[in-house]
Structure 1
Amino acid sequence: MDVKEAKKQLKELRKQIEYHNKKYYTEDAPEIDDYEYDMMYRRLQQLEEQYPELVTPDSPTQKVGAEVLNKFQPVVHTVPMESLHDSFSEQELIDFDRRVRSAVENPIYIVEPKFDGLSVSLEYRDGLFVRGSTRGDGTVGEDVTDNLRTIRTVPKQLTRALPFLEVRGEVYMSHESFFRLSERQELNDEKPFKNPRNAAAGSLRQKDSKVTASRTLDIFVFNVQQVTGKELHNHDDALNFLKELGFAVPPFFTACSTVDEVVAEVNRIGELRGSLDYSIDGAVIKVNSFAQREVLGSTSKFPKWAEAFKYPPEEKETRLLSIEINVGRTGVLTPTGVFEPITLAGTTVSRATLHNEDFIREKDIRIGDTVILRKAGEIIPEVVSVVSHMQDSVPYEMPEVCPSCGVKVAREEGEAATRCTNPECPAQLLRHMIHFSSRDAMDIDGLGPAVIEQLIKQGLLTSPADLYTLRFDQIASLERKGEKSSQNLIDAIQKTKDNDLYRLVYAFGIPHIGLKAAKLLSSYFQNMDAIFHASAEEIAAIDGFGQIMADSVVQFFTLDNTAHLIGRLRDAGVNMLCKTVVDDNRFYGKTFVLTGTLPTMTRTQAGAIIEKMGGKVSGSVSKKTDYVLAGEDAGSKLTKAQQLGVTVISEEEFNNMIQD
């Protein structure tokens, strides 16, 4: 390869790696697996070693992590939070040992698991936790102190009041917590995180610490960055001292005096992966002596006294025996492959998701195929490729009707998912009921997910309409339901009969129809019968509606199950008329965008006032926007408004506008 071609390849590799760095570190939404990224990064390193004159200061090999988001205060790391050099073979570990021994004598290595989470710094003064930050780019991180305080394994006060201590650790999410979170996200029709690492990173970097607290994060602390009031000479002593102070340290670590012992321990940790309730993507080998670390020093990016061994994804062949269709709580039909059992990453695997129809067609997966399976992030089995088709096999076709209720399924344009459209489908009942009773929908106080699950299990709830036939004694028979709370729930359900029409429309959970669209639909047609008989053309004519939204509404209201549900709700006395009357048109034809935290009212309250006065609330700023109502911490919407010259108002100015 000549220099010209090398330069071309380097440019393309850097571009791809920077893109995937942003997806992984900044957005917590990776598009490729770790091994694919590692091999791409390794190729970049090899080319730069071969052509050192082409190395640039902004190359990914010269930087750590990724950019810091502006939604958090920046924290400058006094001690840089360095990355680690990666090895992928036994020979590379031998090379590391040779480099170390060329500089220091008789090194002792500590081998510990490499946790797959988000690296953070914790700072303590006089034994009290005062600040926590992410690694960021290694030099500047993000202040996430409030979020770190919600993690139970982050000590708020140490057992010993050292003048100052800074430690480094890894925030992670256990597999159990990850699966619980995925279930909740599915119920809320949210896109689930791809793996526990991204779930941990995304949860820690929330603006609202209450969200972080709900995600059940944990931490392992494995390094002392700075300390005053205590002398430490070796890494294993530091780990034991950290444990005495109240930190959760790596649950196992081993001292090794030879590279053969290091390799054996790395292999042992690799075999343990399948039995752990947290994700590890490798092992870390560190020189134990701090004095020897000083001698070895660091490169511009890596410490020379440590090495990370990354486990390659284990892949094995097996045969696809059948494909089962599972109907999720959001109505999505997910094909699951059933395979001849194999052992991957220490666990027996016989099932793996096949995602959707596009995934099956792209890989041409057929029943009877010999396929290659692997575990993504050492937790979720996936099909990598098809090795061969069985003789006389045929392409797989998704079912045309829902296996749970028998209603015809649909796949909307631009979506990969095939969905059941039945509002009373048993497989979707829990999710439907949670949405139906939620605050923006029918707003049934006291009807949380736990109560709904009990009602469903006892056969008391098979449709939203069943809520209005529930008796006091049925609710009182539920676990943890006393007489007062049972009567309160009955009263809350009865109260919703008088709700405005838009709440009921939104409660149906029609695809593509959010709260704002439900309000527009109700206000335009004024009653349920008019909406029920409206054509797609009529609905699409509403300002704020598009053809996809209109088609979705018509498709929903043409289902026999929808007519049945509306009939039962009507018989129960649920209101079917629009109550919202615009008696003040001062904002007619005006579009508002709300952003940031307002001093005395919520954005929902402000939006309701705007709509009651004939105005429209939009979620995005454009040239057609008339006003941007901005509060504290207003972000990109405020910036865009200023760029476009849109009028920006405060809550005080807004209050002046709505005064009589």
Structure 2
Amino acid sequence: MTGQKDFSDTPVTDLDRAAAEEELGRLAALLAKANEDYHTRDAPELTDADYDALKRRNTRIEERFPDLKRADSPSDQVGAAPAEGFEKVTHSQRMMSLGNAFEDAEIADFDARIRRYLNLGPEDDLAYTAEPKIDGLSLSLRYEGGRLIRAATRGDGTTGENVTANARTISDIPEKLTGAPEVLEVRGEVYMSHADFAALNEGQEARGGKTFANPRNAAAGSLRQLDPAITRARPLKFFAYGWGELSEPLSASQRGALARLAELGFSTNPLTRRCAGPEEMLAQYREIEERRATLGYDIDGVVYKVDDLGLQGRLGFRSTTPRWALAHKFPAELAWTRLEKIEIQVGRTGALSPVARLTPVTVGGVVVSNATLHNEDYIAGRDATGAPIRGGRDIREGDWVQVYRAGDVIPKIADVDLDKRPAEAAPYDFPTVCPRCGSEAIREEGDAVRRCSGGLICPAQAVERLKHFVSRAAFDIEGLGAKQVEQFHTDGWIAEPADIFALPERYGAGMQQLKNREGWGEKSAQKLFDAIREKQRIPLNRLIFALGIRHVGEVAAADLARHYLSWGALVEALDTARPAERRHRAAEAAVTAERRAAAEEGRRAEITRTREAVWAEPPEVPQPARAAWEDLVGIDGIGATLAVSLVSAFAQTEERASIDRLAAYLEVEEAQRPATEGSPVAGKTVVFTGTLEKMTRAEAKARAEALGAKVSGSVSGKTDILVAGPGAGSKEKKARELEVEILDEDGWLSLIGPA
């Protein structure tokens, strides 16, 4: 990750959209490598707590900015690609991962989410199971006619490795079952006890062989031996906790299904309990946590599942996790060390982010030398509202600081020991000029981040934008990564994206200037130029994302592409919407000024100068411009802030010229609306309004999207169907004016059919 902009210094609540977008890209790369290390190589470099922290931060950012979710989001990844050397197995039902919780309050939130989704009140019974989360290797066992026919690792969730011969050597895995369903896929965890792990390492060391870092690595490495005889010699165990494909149900409840698996001969965890609600779930968590050191095997938390399997079916799944289950992880570690220096990094959008350089210290099994300092307010000991944090204690170079690694990606500084503060330590003076280009660094009202105003003249921003342009989710040009971008920019070969596509023309003849450079030869140079030419044909959504416009992430880029379908239509819409965008900004500025004045004068009367009033004042916005603007902000996931950023970028003279120079090199593929065969609403835009009585709004949206419909938050001329429940107001009125088809909830359910 060397050279990549690091926004781990900023709390999720203080990230603006651009910083969040960059941080999501960094997290995707970190987590992809961690998944490969853990699932494919059995040699993780991150501790479980560190991995959870990375995943948790990614999830928090995606929850705060759902439109920035990446195509390669870690939230949509399960495990990693299968290793070479084993036959690949496609799971009949995908092996999912679990969402994580770290605080007690999140368990009550989990219960509340489930109740909202199922439309259950607090008085309605809702039971869960709670069981230890085994730290091992996930395995799926397929039985047909009571005989074990295949065992497969999780892999990437869809495709795993065939380890049947090795699984047959594990005593906890029955070869034959009596009274089992005709088809039964049992899922569980392969693990190694502490005593067996210690004995294995002693034997390995005595023979001069490889020793293992922990029981999980030992179990994974043992199960994935190409020689089953080696696996047989390793003391592996197996706990069953779930199932995949079934020819008939095991039970009506989670607890009953586990009891049935135990009757069939599988080991299930004896600490599994049925809990009536969050209080009992947390009580079981505390009991398991207290017994953790005496269990004789590794666990890293407690898993909660809705006990009623019928309710599990209604709740269903997100992309990679079930809605009906949650892993409550155990806390990570704290450590104290010296803060040697505070450094400022400058990102693609000009954000100045402070990083703490630390005297190296081990936290949770990993050596830490950098930590996040978030922003200037955090350093000064206050939050975004000015309220004190850490008791108002500021952070200074030379301080003895507490480093915390749970719940965030990169370690952060949690506290300061004032008793150890050096006498010469001075308050940190946050820069008001960019350390890279000397331009003024401005902090806009309401923004937690200070930004360089240098724009394209700032080398840090230019380089980071170019890195973003060639990133995996953007143009993804083979042979042109962050290192090469920095090299070519330093040498003056590329200053903007269009220059990349000019490289073959400028330097391709004979390739002398490139092939004679260190690290390059004739073949690698030719390969790079071929890759650049190949990427001159690009899907519309990738081009939009690659532009690096503030607030426009992968999801928003995909939404824009699906809506406008072609590059020409998008550009025309943005150009048309420009007068309305200026009017929108004027309206927002007027309302902000009115509110500020009211606050300063102590007036309590309601502010009457509304946005609509400003919109209505002369000069009138041309109707095509206003229609284009309303169409843009009406796209589900495209709010006014993103729209302003997008339209403004295309309206700025230098930026637009750069975009036009780039577009001249490209053949942009048109996007196609997704089609779901046989669906009556595939490709249609649906708006829900009012109160839904037979399903929650979340369930209704999930059903619609699963059928290929696009769910929008506002009614426009592009709306196909309005589903109006009791209490529908302005949206229903507008839909009638636009002659949009209006259905009540029963009509909607009749249209889409049963789930």
TM-score, normalised via structure 2 length: 0.42
Query: What TM-score, normalized by structure 1, do the two folds share?
Result: 0.48
Larger RCO (alpha carbons 8 Å, 6+ apart)? 2
